[in-house]
Amino acid sequence: MSVPLHDKLKKALIRYNEEERYLIGRMNDLQLREILQKVYKGPTFEQIVHFTNCLNLFYSTRLHAAVKRGNIALGTRNKVILKVAEVIEKKWEPFGLQYVQSHIKYDHQLVEKLRAALERSLKRNAYSFTTKFFHQLNSRYPILDSNVNAFMNKEGFKKGVNFYNHSYEVFLAYYQEMMKRLHWPLHQVNQLDNAMWTYTDLHPKRYFPGRYKAPLGAIATLVV
C-alpha cells in the first residue's frame, strides 16, 4: 500500500527541521527574519538593499536575469538589486507592505501591484522574487518558484495551467485547493513550502527529469 503524499511531505518537513544538510536553509530563514525586523523599525534604503540582496542570493530569485548589458541602469547584477530595492522603498508605504506582516487575509492585489512595478522597472517578469518577498513579509503568502511549480505539476495540482501567465490570485486559488486535497492546514503555508522544497530536493529525478539525461554513450548502448 502506497504512503499518502501528505505523510511523505510530513516526513520531509521533519528532515528539513532536523538534518544538518538543511541547516543552511534554516539559518538563511533566520537571517532574513532578523534583517526584516530592522526594516520594519524604520525602512532605510540600505536595509532594503540588504534584505533584497540576501533574499535573491539565498533563494535564487533570478534577479540577475534582468541584467541588460546595454542599459546603464541595469547593466550589472548589483544595479539590478539597487533598482529593485528602489522600487520597494518607494512602494513600502503606498502599498501598505508594513500591514502585510500582521494582516491575516491575503491581498493578492498588493502582490500584483509590486510585480507590475518591478516588471516596469526591470523590463522583465519578477514573479518568483515578488512571491518570495511577500512570503517573507507574511508566511501565509505562498511562493511560486521552480520547485513548487514542478511539484504541483507532477502531482496533478496544476491542471495544465501556466501560473506565470496568470495573476497571483489564480495561483493562490490552485495552491489553497492543493492544501485542502493534501489535508494540510491552510495557515501552515510555510511548513508546506519547506516540505515541498525538501521533498523535491530528495527526489530530483522525479520532479526535474530534464536535468538527468543519459550521456550520449549510454544512449548509444541502449540503441544497440
Considering the domain boundaries, does residue 220 fall inside one?
A: no
Residue 14 above 80 pLDDT? yes
Average pLDDT, the chain: 87
Considering the domain boundaries, does residue 216 fall inside one?
A: no
d(CA 50, CA 159): 38
Cell of 206: 522525479
pLDDT band at 223 (very low <50, low <70, confident <90, very high): very low
Alpha-carbon dihedral sign for residues 192, 25, 100, 124: negative
- Report yes or no: 140 and 193 within 8 Å, Cβ to Cβ: no
Q: Which amino acid, residue 108?
A: H
The whole-number pLDDT of residue 9 equals 97
Percent of the chain whose pLDDT exceeds 70: 86
Considering the domain boundaries, does residue 18 fall inside one?
A: yes
Counting the structural domains of the chain, the total is 1
Considering the domain boundaries, does residue 221 fall inside one?
A: no
Considering the domain boundaries, does residue 200 fall inside one?
A: yes
pLDDT band at 99 (very low <50, low <70, confident <90, very high): low
Report the candidate in 143, 125, 147 with the shortest Cα–Cα distance to residue 134: 143
Considering the domain boundaries, does residue 187 fall inside one?
A: yes
pLDDT in tens, 148-202: 999 999 999 998 899 999 999 999 999 999 999 999 999 999 999 999 999 999 9
The whole domain housing 157 covers: 5-210
pLDDT in tens, 36-77: 888 888 788 999 999 999 999 999 888 888 777 667 667 788
The whole-number pLDDT of residue 169 equals 95
Considering the domain boundaries, does residue 218 fall inside one?
A: no
Distances (CA, A) of 126 to 23, 88, 174: 27, 13, 20
The whole-number pLDDT of residue 67 equals 75
pLDDT band at 126 (very low <50, low <70, confident <90, very high): very high
Residue 221 above 50 pLDDT? no
User: Lowest-confidence range among 93-102, 167-176, 213-222?
Assistant: 213-222
Considering the domain boundaries, does residue 215 fall inside one?
A: no
- Report yes or no: 143 and 132 within 8 Å, Cβ to Cβ: yes
- Whether the pTM exceeds 0.85: the reply is yes
pLDDT in tens, 73-92: 677 888 889 999 999 988 77
